[in-house]
Amino acid sequence: MMGNEVITVAEIVRWTVSMVDLSLMFWLVSPFLKHRGGSKVKTVVLLLAAGSINTLTNRYFGSASTPGLLLIMLVSGLFFAQIFASRLRRIWGCMIVALIAISIVELLVIVVLLAVTSVPPETFNEWGFYRMLGIVGSKSLSLVLVLGLYPKLNLFHPADIEREGLAPTVVLVGIFNVAVIFISFSIYMHSEAVSGIDRLALVAFLLVVMFFSVTVLIFLNKRTILHQQQREWQIKEEAYRQQVFFTESMQEALVSVRTQRHDFNHHLNCLYGLLEMNRPQEARQYVQKLIKEVETVNDLIGIEHPEMAALLNVKRMTAREKQIPMELEASIPATLPIPPLDLCIIMGNLVTNAIEACELLPVEDRHMAVRVHVKQQHLVIQVINQKQETVLITDAMIREGYSHKRSVGEVEKTGRSGGVKAAGEAEEKGIDRMNTGEHGLGLLSVRQIIQRYEGILKIEDEGRRFNVNVAIPLVISDH
């Protein structure tokens, strides 16, 4: 009877320890993983189930056994995958780091207790006062560190690790630490042949390994922070460049309005002169000619968005000056969730590039079309232009920077595909790369802006015709 009660108490303690360890690991990995958004009750139920399975695993394989540890990590990772929306690879990576942190704290607490109490290490393997003291001490210290110090640390995110290419290094450091801690702990706790001096040397070696690993992680963390700062400066520089582009577009619009005003006064004077000379037929013909020219403004009536209307008006006049027929179909609401600056960057660069491509053709072959409308909660932009058939434009070139003007004479088309399907296709066809110019950087900005809003950029090279299709969701998700 007494034996059964002791076993029951031990099982309760094991289950409690498993739940505390699992909770610590959950709190450690939570800031770095994306939650699925389920209820808290579901999360608690999943953690209780995982903790119960982990308890049975420890009971069957024994505490601190290699098969048991691997099975616990596997099962816990699968349960965490139901709580977090991140990939299993990232979940297990974060769990390994959390396991290292928990193991370090537990080992340090045991070393301190051994030094203070002078009891044999085997005492901590038997259920009793000292083992309970070690459990309470290590878990309490872990809770204090997790809830107190941990939120204040400026640690790198797993996404930063992947972006900086540090994943292999971090994984190797993690696996090495897990192996060293596990082996050292097993030797320290279970080997009666190890003398006191050898145990101290083992502890010293373990601390040196930990110090080295922490130093490596701190270095990687500082490197990641430095790269983040560099990216922030690049973003600020890009924002400044976009602002300059936007300001220049507005200046072009102002010049366009002044030109139209000057032309309007000129047309009035001509009409007045014809009527004064009693030449109504010529005045009628002059008015008909003006009507055809003014028809281009009617295409902008459907554009309620002021910034886009101004930009497209400027580009329409530029195309007309270069003798490029421009078909314009646009219906844009006055307000959009996308900032006007980003919209003008996208539209301005695409239309400018199309004008440059047409400008290289004979006048009779020049033609371009711009279509902008809202469809199924997406802003859809389509820019179509004629181009030289000897110039092949690929998605890889768009990624690296492209300009129609700089590409002439530099590229020869050695084959035709039904469309650009993958980056690097140009290299496979033996096509030289584009030199990067201002417009190439502009197209890079277009791609970056579209990706920022989770949109789609699709380009199609049909020989003498080039199509650019953009779809940007108008319901912007939170990041």
Residue 353 has pLDDT above 70, yes or no: yes
Six token digits for residue 57: 């695993």
Render pLDDT for 391-441 as a digit per residue (tens, 0 to 9): 666 555 555 444 444 444 333 333 333 333 333 333 333 333 333 334 444
How far is 35 from 37, CA to CA, in rounded Å?
5
Q: What is the pLDDT of residue 154?
A: 54
DSSP secondary structure code for residue 429 in this structure: T
Domains in the chain, CATH or no CATH each: 2-233 (no CATH), 302-473 (3.30.565.10)
Please list, residue by residue across 52-72, b when 16 or more beta carbons sit within 10 angstroms of its beta carbon and e when fewer do: ebbbbbbeebeeebeebbebb
Using a 10 angstrom Cβ sphere, with 0-12 exposed, 13-18 middle and 19 or more buried, the burial of residue 261 is exposed
The model carries a pTM of 0.43
394 Cβ contact list (under 8 Å, min separation 6): 420, 423, 425, 426, 431, 459, 461
How far is 367 from 323, CA to CA, in rounded Å?
9
Selected residue with higher pLDDT from 298 and 319: 319
How far is 256 from 7, CA to CA, in rounded Å?
89
**Contacts by 373-377, CB closer than 8 A, 24 or more apart:** 373/329, 373/330, 373/331, 373/332, 374/331, 374/332, 374/333, 374/474, 377/473, 377/474, 377/475
Query: E strands within 296-402?
Result: 326-330, 368-375, 378-386
Using a 10 angstrom Cβ sphere, with 0-12 exposed, 13-18 middle and 19 or more buried, the burial of residue 25 is buried
Render pLDDT for 147-190 as a digit per residue (tens, 0 to 9): 665 555 555 555 555 555 666 666 666 666 666 666 666 665 55
Give the whole-number percent of the chain exceeding pLDDT 90.
Answer: 9
Residue 457: strand, helix, or coil: strand
Six token digits for residue 79: 């349960």
